[in-house]
């Protein structure tokens, strides 16, 4: 939400320059939210002039590249540029960018691989069909969210991090001590029954 407000506060520039605001610094330099004259939103992370970056394959609605840019108020430099010009992707793009901003290291090597690793985690989401989830996929998502909100002791960052279902992990929830696979089905009649199978590192199973 904070990044969303930053983008909305930017005025569209004229010409090829980008209107930009610094949101934090990372080991490679400033990280900016930016807006171009066409209203396309950008997240920029400054990198070395010739970074050894293996860019991911493009996905619908998202552009990724290393560009030489001169944003307003910033030096002419090389930047990793993530951008989307489709307003229907703004909310998802904001979530992706917030994840990247949180993950980029403040000190140490300025390795762009950190940013690209976050992007890779989001790849399945960005590559999904724009028509949305199928009925079965919706049921599966509801089941995983129900466990996240109702069964886990507390909704914490660790709990959300353990949620691997959207990333097509082997199990839907994975921690150092337990793995949980959630299966959701629907029925028109009869009692509501919840069955959860949880397997620990040794493969022992428990049922509820």
Same domain, 10 and 63: yes
Q: What are the pLDDT digits (tens) for 55-79? A: 766 677 788 888 899 998 898 999 9
CB atoms within 10 A of CB 8: 11
CA dist., res. 143 & res. 19, Å (int): 42
Q: What are the pLDDT digits (tens) for 26-49? A: 998 999 999 999 999 999 999 887
Same domain, 97 and 143: no
pLDDT band at 202 (very low <50, low <70, confident <90, very high): very low
Task: Say how many domains are in the chain.
Answer: 2
Same domain, 40 and 59: yes
Q: Of 126, 147, 181, which residue sits at a domain end? A: 126
Q: Of 82, 103, 126, which residue sits at a domain end? A: 126
HSE (side-chain half, CA atoms, 13 Å) at 107: 0
Q: What are the pLDDT digits (tens) for 131-183? A: 556 677 777 778 778 777 777 767 677 777 777 776 666 677 787 777 778 87
How many residues would you count in the chain? 208
Same domain, 73 and 146: no
Q: Of 105, 126, 147, which residue sits at a domain end? A: 126
Same domain, 168 and 195: yes
CA angle 1, 124, 41 (to 5 degrees): 40
Three-state DSSP class for residue 83: strand
Structural domain boundaries, residue 185: 135-207
Burial class (CB in 10 A: 0-12, 13-18, 19+), 176: exposed
Residue with more model confidence, 206 or 159: 159
Q: What are the pLDDT digits (tens) for 80-108? A: 999 988 888 888 889 889 999 988 988 88
Residue 145 confidence (pLDDT) = 81
Same domain, 121 and 139: no
Residue 108 confidence (pLDDT) = 83
Are residues 57 and 51 in contact, defined by beta-carbon separation less than 8 angstroms? no
Same domain, 80 and 181: no
Same domain, 172 and 115: no
Smallest Cα–Cα separation from 83: which of 45, 119, 44, 30? 44
Strands 173-174 and 77-84: unpaired
């Amino acid at each position: 939400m904070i990044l969303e407000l930053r983008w909305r506060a930017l005025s569209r520039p004229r010409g090829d320059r980008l209107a930009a605001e610094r949101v934090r610094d990372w080991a490679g330099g400033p990280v900016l939210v930016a807006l171009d004259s066409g209203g396309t939103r950008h997240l920029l992370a400054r990198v070395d002039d010739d970074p050894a970056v293996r860019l991911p394959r493009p996905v619908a609605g998202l552009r990724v590249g290393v560009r030489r840019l001169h944003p307003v108020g910033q030096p002419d430099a090389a930047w990793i540029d993530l951008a989307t010009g489709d307003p229907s992707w703004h909310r998802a793009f904001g979530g992706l960018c917030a994840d990247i901003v949180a993950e980029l290291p403040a000190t140490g090597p300025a390795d762009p691989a950190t940013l690209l690793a976050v992007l890779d985690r989001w790849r399945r989401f960005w590559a999904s069909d724009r028509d949305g989830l199928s009925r079965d996929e919706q049921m599966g998502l509801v089941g995983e969210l129900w466990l996240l909100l109702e069964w886990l002791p507390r909704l914490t960052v660790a709990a959300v991090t353990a949620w691997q279902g959207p990333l097509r992990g082997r199990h839907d929830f994975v921690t150092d001590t337990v793995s949980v696979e959630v299966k959701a089905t629907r029925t028109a009649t009869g009692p509501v029954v919840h069955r959860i199978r949880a397997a620990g590192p040794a493969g022992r199973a428990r049922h509820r």
